[in-house]
Amino acid sequence: MKFKTLFAASVAFAVAGTSLAHAEPQAEVLHWWTSGGEARSVAVLQKEFASRGGKWTDMPVAGGGGDAAMTALRARVLAGNAPTAVQLKGPAIQEWYEEGVLANISSVAKAQGWADVLPASIAGHMKCEGKWCAAPVNVHRIDWIWANAAVLAKNGISMPTSWDEFNAAAAKLQAAGITPLAHGGQAWQDATVFEAVALGIGGPKFFQKAFVELDQATLKSNTMVKVFDQMRIMRGFVDNNFSGRDWNLATAMVMNGEAAFQIMGDWAKGEFLAAGKRPGIDFLCASTPGDGFLYNVDSFAMFAVDGSDKTDGQLLLAELIVGKNFQKVFNMNKGSIPARVDVALDDFDPCAHTSAQDMATSNAGGSLLPSYAHGMALRGAQAGAITDVVTAHFNSDMSSADAVEMLATAVTNSM
């Protein structure tokens, strides 16, 4: 098998690399961390890599959610020139493994005892047929609502704890001339809001059936109709210029008080922090109404490449990524929490503490769920089919009944 040959080659290089004099470790790193908070975070890894003698070649591909980065990756792999390390996550890791193009990083994983410091659910995503093929960076939570503290206080509004409360607050803000919901009309952002609404309205079991198991009855259910009804209401709470707006510009609208709320993963917090805003004072965080926790684990997969400088670079990167210091400093900047369970959170902000506590509670209660919108729950074709319908509905006057029919059909056709 092609993968086995490549695996054998990378092990041979790794072994050779320990005994022979060789060139400095190299890594060409493809990622989509280009916003203020994201760039500040990835710089932590670049610095650590350089301090260990590594030469980093940056390949940033702008575009939140990573769709553009994934298109760039496919082009590079098809051209036979894969980058050495790629920001990749969830089932996409397995999809690339099946193409026979991933390297094996088990030597680092074993040396560092990853199995002992990563939760089993996260480790599962990082393994390909029992071998470690990716290194996890963090746990981002998706179902968050962010708010401008002063705007809420001025309008006598507290963080909503139900969707009815959200709708009432939004209507009040709109009447006061404030955009209730900062949103960027890009398919992945529509999907991000949609999955938070679906979890809130349907609950964790509904979410699992719909977006993990792709159960037809659930996709067509009355509950799903209600989810689309709420999406229609939310469409009325965004400003006129929402189309195509980048997520960080939507976050900026909340920061400067032009808008009150944003529903977005906690990389939005990284943006607030990078701008010097303080949680609980300048901005507020709360989980979106309802139970459960939608997780999104960023990770790096190493692609099979030739040359001991590159394979050394891959092993060094993997070692740093799961290293305790990186997991702490990176995640304090990025807005996420560490993937490792043994990193103390004392220096993290209150939103990160909420995230960690809710993750533990959800894990114990069976409501810790993978984000479909951020590529953790489904393969690309199925996730894409759902998102196409969500976006088509959000950007038209399609009825909720038509949307659920279209959703069920699109999912069937994508299988």
Query: What is the contact surface with ligand BGC in residues (CB under 6 A)?
Result: 32, 38, 64-66, 140, 267, 296, 298, 374
H/E stretch holding 106 reads: helix 106-112
Q: Which is nearer to ligand BGC, 70 or 173 (CB)?
A: 70
Q: Write out the DSSP string of 341-370.
A: TTS--TTS-HHHHHHHHHHHHHHHHT-EEE
Closest Cα partner for 386 from 252, 216, 229, 241?
216
Nearer to ligand BGC, 64 or 313 (CB): 64
Closest CB to ligand BGC: residue number: 267
Q: How far is the CB of 140 from ligand BGC (least distance, A)?
A: 5
- In angstroms, give the least distance from the CB of 243 to ligand BGC: 18
Residue 304 dihedral angles phi and psi, to the nearest 5°? -70, 120
Q: How far is the CB of 270 from ligand BGC (least distance, A)?
A: 7
Span between the terminal Cα atoms of the chain, in Å: 26
Query: Which residues contact residue 115 at a Cβ distance below 8 angstroms, ignoring those fewer than 6 apart?
Result: 109, 123
Q: In DSSP terms, which residues pair with 179 in a beta bridge?
A: 259
- The rounded distance, in Å, linking the Cα atoms of 367 and 317 is 32
Of residues 245 and 374, the one with the C-beta less far from ligand BGC: 374
Residue closer to ligand BGC, measured from CB, 64 or 290: 64
**Least Cβ distance, residue 65 to ligand BGC (angstroms):** 5
The 3-class secondary structure across 194-251, one letter per residue, is HHHHHHHHHHHHHHHHHHHCCCHHHHCCHHHHHHHHHHHHHHCCCCCCCECCCHHHHH
Closer Cβ to ligand BGC, 202 or 265, answer by number: 265
CB of 138 to ligand BGC, least distance (A): 8
Nearer to ligand BGC, 69 or 224 (CB): 69
The β-bridge partners of 357 are none
Given the structure tokens 């086995």, which residue do they identify? 4
Question: At its nearest, how many Å lie between ligand BGC and the CB of residue 267?
Answer: 3
Sort 75 into a burial class: Cβ within 10 Å, 0-12 / 13-18 / 19+: exposed
Nearer to ligand BGC, 72 or 219 (CB): 72
Q: Which is nearer to ligand BGC, 157 or 274 (CB)?
A: 274
For the bound state, the minimum distance from the C-beta of residue 52 to ligand BGC, rounded and expressed in Å, comes to 23
Distance CA(116)–CA(242), nearest Å, equals 45
**Within a 13 Å sphere around the CA of 75, how many CA atoms are in the beta-carbon half?**
8
